[in-house]
Structure 1
Amino acid sequence: MSVWLPTAPCTPGDCVTVAGPRAGVARRVLRVTGCLAVLLVGVAAVPVVRMLRWLPAERLVRCWAWLLLAALGVRVRPIAVPGKEVGGSLVVSNHISWLDILLVAAVRPGRMLAKTEVGRWPLLGPLTAWGGTIFIDRDRLRALPGTVEQIATALRRGERVVVFPEGSTWCGRGGGRFRPALFEAAVRADVPVQPVTLRYRTADGPSTVPAFVGEDGLLPSLWRVVSVRGLVGEVEFLPQLPPVLFPGRRHLAAAAQRVVERGRHLDRLAHPSEPPVRVPGRREVPRSRVDAAR
C-alpha cells in the first residue's frame, strides 16, 4: 500500500450483508428503469443549464440528486444541516459507496474530488464532469500537489469542495485513516473544514448493502441497492473545524477523523440526557461531538 493508494480490508463477501425486506423483481426493474430515465434527463439538461446561466444550478443539482436517489429506492435523511454559508469550505466525509456522492449532492452540493475512473462511467461520468468535479489520478503520486492547489484555488473563490480523505471505500462497520494531504488545501485557503458523517440503514438497523468495496462491480452493487426496501441514507453535518485552531494539516485531519468516527458510531438517541449545544446557524448537536473537535 502506497502513501496515496490506501486500501480497505472490506470485500463484498466478508462485509456486505443483504438482510431485511426485499423488493420484488418488478420493483427492481422499475427502479433501474427510473434511474436510467433520471440520468438521461440530467444529460439532456446539461447544455440547457450551461446556456441559461441564470438558472439556480445548485438547486437543480440538489433536486436531480434527490430524484435519482428516490428512483433507486433510497430516502435521504439530512441531519443538522448548516444555514447559509459565506465563503468556501472543505467538506470531508467517510466513504462507503458510490451513493455517497449523490447523498451529499442531495443536501449540500459542491465540487467533488473523484478518481479519474469515475469520469469514464456511462452517463454519470459526463454529469460529474459538468458539475465541476476535480479528477485525480490515484496512480500518479506526483499529481497530488497540483490537485491540492486546484482545490485550494476553488476554496479561495468561495466554492464548496467535497472530498473523501480515507482514499478508499469501507463497508461502514469500520473506517480508514484520513489522509492529511487534502487538508492542506483548507490550510492554504484558510477556510473551515466541514465534517460530515454518512450512514445507511433500513428498518432493521445499520445496513452494509450500499457498500462498494474490494473488487465489487458497479452493476452488482446497483442491483443490491435496488433490491432492498426501506433503505435510508443519513447525511449528518458536524461542527466545523477552522484550520487556525490546529498546528497543521495532520492535526486538522486527525480532528476531522475523530469527529466523523464519533458521528458514525454514536446513535443520536444514545445520549438522551446529554445537554445539547447550540451552534449558530445549526440545529442543536450533542456536546460530546463539539468536544471531540477540540
Structure 2
Amino acid sequence: MSGWLPTAPCTPDACVEPDPPAAAVPRAVLRLTAVAALVLAGVVLSPFRGRIPAGWVARWCRWIVRAVGVRVRITGTVPPAGGLLLVANHVSWLDIPLLTAVRPARMLAKTEVGQWPVAGALAARGGALFIERDRLRALPGTVARIAGALRAGTAVTAFPEGSTWCGRAHGRFRRAVFQAALDAGVPVQPVSLRYRRQDGRPGTAAAFVGEDSLPASLWRVARARGLVAEVEVRPVIPPGVHPDRRSLARAAQPAAPEPAWTHAALVTAGERAAVNA
C-alpha cells in the first residue's frame, strides 16, 4: 500500500454524533445558500488570485466557515512569510478554509479532488498540488514537486495523516511530506484542529469520514448549533532542528485528543494494530 494511502477506522455510523439541538431547516438552508454564494464568488474571482491580497483570501475562507454556522477561534503564533510547510490533523472539509484563514497556501490534495464539481476547479485554480495516492512510484516525484514549490518561497498545506479522522481519535503523521521540507530547508508550521459542541465537549458533527458524502456532511454541519472550530497555531519548527523526517513528523504531531469518548469500532486489537502499522 502507498504511503499516501493510509486508512482510518472512523465511519459516520460509528463515530459521528449529531449535535442536538439542531437548527431549524430554513436556517440551515439559508446557511448553505450563503456558502454557495461565497464559493461562487471565489470561482468568479479565482482567475485573478495572483492580484488578490492574501489577507482578503484568508478573510473569505473565514466567512465560508462562519456562513455555515461554525464559530472560529484561532490562537497561537503568526506563521512566518516565505516557503513554509503547514501541517495539521484532518477531520473535515472545513479544515481547508480554516487553514487558509491562517495562511493562504498551495494545498496538497488527492487527484480525486480535482474531479469534484466546482470545488475541484477552485482547487486547481488555487494552485493545488495533486497527488496520486495509490501509486507508490509517484512518491519521489511528488516530494520533489513539493520541495520545488517550497524553495520558490511558496507555502504548502498538507494533512500528513493521509485520511480524515473523527476528531476523538486520530492517526499518526506519515513522514513522506516532511522530506520535502527537509530537502527545501524551510520551516514547518504545525496546526492543531478541534471541533467542539456548544457545551464545550468535543463534537463530531463536522467530521467527514469513511463513506460519508459531501452533501450529507454539509447538511449535518449546517444544522448543528453551537459548533466551534478551534485552530491552534503551534510554535514553528525551524529548519535544521530535526535531522530526519521521522523525528520532524513526530515533533509536528499534535497531542492525543481528549479521552472523553471511545467506540467499540476503535478499540479492537486488530484495528489498533492497523492504526499503528
Q: Shared fold (TM-score greater than 0.5)?
A: yes
Amino acid at match of 2:115: R
Name 1:251's counterpart in structure 2: 247
- Provide Cα deviations, 1:44-70, integer angstroms capped at 9, x if missing partner: 1123x25xx5431x1232122122112
SS of corresponding position for 2:71: strand
Identical amino acids, percent of aligned pairs: 58
SS of corresponding position for 1:244: coil
Give the TM-score taking structure 1 as reference length: 0.83
Name 1:124's counterpart in structure 2: 119
Amino acid at match of 2:231: V
Name 2:12's counterpart in structure 1: 12
Match of 2:63 among 48, 61, 67: 67
- Provide Cα deviations, 1:149-189, integer angstroms capped at 9, x if missing partner: 11111111111111000001100111111111110001011
Matched, 1:240 2:239: no
Name 2:130's counterpart in structure 1: 135
- Provide Cα deviations, 1:69-120, integer angstroms capped at 9, x if missing partner: 122111221111316x243111110000111001111222211101111112
Name 1:55's counterpart in structure 2: 52
- Provide Cα deviations, 1:242-270, integer angstroms capped at 9, x if missing partner: 3412221111111211xx125x549xxxx
Q: Say whether the 8 Å CA contact 2:8–2:164 is kept in structure 1.
A: yes
Q: Say whether the 8 Å CA contact 2:192–2:232 is kept in structure 1.
A: yes
Gaps of 5+ in 1: 267-294
Matched, 1:149 2:174: no
Residues 167-182 of structure 1: pairs in structure 2 closer than 5 A = 167-182=162-177
- Provide Cα deviations, 1:204-225, integer angstroms capped at 9, x if missing partner: 2211111111111111111110
Name 2:274's counterpart in structure 1: none
SS of corresponding position for 1:206: coil
Amino acid at match of 1:219: P
Name 2:45's counterpart in structure 1: 45
Quick one: distance in 2 between partners of 1:236 and 1:18?
A: 24
Q: Say whether the 8 Å CA contact 1:243–1:252 is kept in structure 2.
A: no
Quick one: distance in 2 between partners of 1:54 and 1:27?
A: 35
SS of corresponding position for 1:90: strand
Matched, 1:28 2:24: no
- Provide Cα deviations, 1:219-241, integer angstroms capped at 9, x if missing partner: 11111100101211111111122
Match of 1:223 among 196, 219, 222: 219
Quick one: distance in 1 between partners of 2:106 and 2:240?
A: 23
Q: Say whether the 8 Å CA contact 2:166–2:209 is kept in structure 1.
A: yes
Shift of 1:4: 2.9
SS of corresponding position for 2:207: coil
178-187 vs 101-110, which moves further: 101-110
Gaps of 5+ in 2: 260-277
Q: Say whether the 8 Å CA contact 2:46–2:126 is kept in structure 1.
A: no
Shift of 1:202: 2.1
Name 1:76's counterpart in structure 2: 72
Quick one: distance in 2 between partners of 1:81 and 1:98?
A: 23
Name 2:158's counterpart in structure 1: 163
Quick one: distance in 2 between partners of 1:169 and 1:230?
A: 22
Quick one: distance in 2 between partners of 1:181 and 1:90?
A: 12
Amino acid at match of 2:185: D
Amino acid at match of 1:12: P
Give the TM-score taking structure 2 as reference length: 0.88
Residue-pair matches, total? 259
Name 1:261's counterpart in structure 2: 255
Q: Say whether the 8 Å CA contact 2:2–2:136 is kept in structure 1.
A: no
Name 1:104's counterpart in structure 2: 99
Quick one: distance in 2 between partners of 1:131 and 1:261?
A: 30
SS of corresponding position for 1:229: coil
SS of corresponding position for 1:144: helix
Of structures 1 and 2, the one with the larger relative CO (CA 8 A, separation 6+) is 2
